[in-house]
A and B are shown apart, each in its own frame.
Chain A
Amino acid sequence: MVEAFQYKNRTYGIAKDFSTLALYFNKSIFDKCGVAYPTNDETWDSLLIKLQELKKKGVEYPIIVNPELTRMIPFINSFGGSVVDSNMKVSLSQPNSKKGFQFYIDLVTKYKVGYEASAAGAGWEGEAFGKENAAVMMSGPWCLGFLKGSYPNVYNKMGIVEMPKNVKRSTMVYTVCWAINRQSSNKDAAWEAMKFLVTEGQQIFVEKAGVLGSNKNVAAKDTDPIKQVFYKGADYATPWKIPTPTGLFSKANDQINSRIKDLFYNKITLDEALKQINENYDSWIK
């Protein structure tokens, strides 16, 4: 959590709170199809079998997958790969990374159990899950409040487990930070405010807004059982931050996402996509 806001050994901000991804599933859909619930020890392969069962029994959109690198990283990492290597060079075509990448794409194109939210008739995965169009989704604690308020019946019959694993566990951690403007003329006052915001202030956020506390003391006090699976994820989560020599990743993100979308729609093969990414990555992070 601290590392996410450090660059070359200098800290630029303190985490406000954090969110991790976990696996949500609709218990009643699983019951109707006679499929066992996913557990905390699920692997991607065993989950795939369950999703295929659901599809056979008539569930049209078993799982929602987003054509975004940020949601694909847990797959890449849990197969033992990584997006970039220790030299910050892109390593998506390393054998393990490629396996994870392939699995993610196959969910959509080969096994036809994964669908984009819009294909399932919703604006995002939370809505698709809430409308019971999808049986499974991967999302964060931000859905808890949303589902409780807008789709309470689904909230009451859903289960949440940790993200499935392959050779290791992986999930994403998303966080933002509080920072003080260098040019500020009220630095001392800002510092006092920040001290409050990461201690008592964070407590308020955690209780009222349902986010996860990045401050260890605050987190210890948050005993809401439904959030524990998200806290557990923090132990092995990857922060959403791809290190590059320049610190820039926005264009590379757009470009990689475009290739993922092409793969979802079968416009290119994975080898072609990887070739394009490898050839152009350096120009995208300039």
Chain B
Amino acid sequence: MKKRVVQEAMVGYLFAAPIIISICIFTLYPIISAFIYSFTDFNPLEIKKFDIKFNPQDAIEINTGFLPSELREKEVVIDFDLMTFIELDVGLKLDAEKSNLVQKYFDSSKLLKDFSEGKLDKEIAIKDFMGTYMTMHGDQFRKYRPKFLWFDNFMELLKDQYFWISLGNAFFFSLIVVPIQTLLAVILAVAANSKIKGVKFYKAVFFIPSITSSAAISMIFWMIYSKPGVINRLFGTSIDWLNEPNTALPAIMLMNIWTTAGYFMVTFLAGLQDIPDSIYEAAEIDGASGLTTFWKITMPLLRPQILFVAITGTIGCMQVFDQIYFLIKNIRNITISFFIYKNAFEYGKMGYASAVALVLFLIILAITAVQRKYIKDEY
């Protein structure tokens, strides 16, 4: 009997294995890594720097301008700049701490002797090279270890003007978009739930924007919002919506509301099915108007769904990236996720970007905890 239970459990886990493995690799591992990196100065371009192979003889020839034979025959005294040699000809970037070690313990005279004897004309990995010529601490040059910075990254981000600007933009974005999006989704759901003609068509039309590629939508809206675009023609204005600092974010917010309201409409539609018709009939009998029914019956009974939509909406808005990446050209209008992207992938400061991401995570966690407290999820 016990064997069967265990066997069944194994089969269950086997079925679930693909998704468990992919979540571990692509979700859990990156999250934990990011958490760890946020306390370091991790730079992904340096991971393999000690594994690179090079030919020391060529490197020394380039640096000094002499061949091994010349050194042997002419007894020349070379002005050998070790640090430049390491930095440029071996091609190894060193921080202050490692530079000191190299300056103290690297045996340059042994290196030049081996060079003049022609012993260096073969490919060798940097880690082995350093191991051979460092009289002490050669083991520190075998594997890349990012420097542990304690809370330096966090101190830095508090002082970074653009961190606050992009965080403020993300807050502004969420504060306006989430309520409007939620309300609009409820209204759309009520409309889609009614028995008017063509309701299936409307359902589809409302929902399609949320499944369209955000890149495609961004391109279309770029044209709509441009100077000779539809919006300006309709309202007779001549504003460059996406470039003027005051209108850029509101324009994106409008686009976002249009895109995601349909998605949340589906959640509310499901919620509406749970509301028994008898309540509406009772309200009608009591003489309640449409508006009163909406605010006093429908909305309160949708509270669990409202909580879900508010939380999901907040998480999505605080992390908005696609539209900002495609459409915003002025870094005064970027949001926090774009700030993280810039630091990680354009400025090469992966550790710092991880720290900002961690802060963002904590902020969103705090907001959703507050939401959960105040919007009770049971009625």
Contact = CB atoms under 8 A, between A and B. Distances in A.
Q: Is B truly associated with A?
A: yes
Interface in A88-122: 116, 118-122
B244 A265 contact: yes
Contacts of A121: 226-228
Interface residues of B, number: 23
A258 B330 contact: yes
Nearest to A276: B161
Q: Give the interface SS of chain A, mostly helix, strand, loop or mixed.
A: loop
Contact of A183 (B52, B242, B330): B52
A258 B331 contact: yes
Contacts of A248: 347-348
A128 B91 CA distance: 45
B84 interface: yes
Given A8-B84, A121-B228, A258-B331, A265 B245 contact: yes
B348 to A, nearest CB: 8
B240 interface: yes
A119 B240 contact: yes
B240 A254 contact: no
A254 B228 contact: no
A250 to B, nearest CB: 5
Indicate the member of B62, B227, B244, B332 with the most A CB atoms within 10 Å.
B227
A8 B331 CA distance: 33
Interface string B216-230: 000000000011100
Contacts of A257: 331
B127 interface: no
A114 to B, nearest CB: 14
B263 interface: no
A262 interface: yes
Contacts of B330: 258, 261
B300 to A, nearest CB: 45
22 contacts: A7-B88, A10-B62, A10-B88, A10-B89, A118-B227, A118-B240, A119-B227, A121-B228, A182-B91, A183-B53, A248-B348, A250-B347, A254-B331, A254-B346, A255-B331, A258-B331, A258-B332, A261-B245, A261-B332, A262-B332, A265-B244, A267-B245
Interface of B: 52-54, 62, 84, 88-89, 91, 226-228, 240, 242-245, 330-332, 342, 346-348
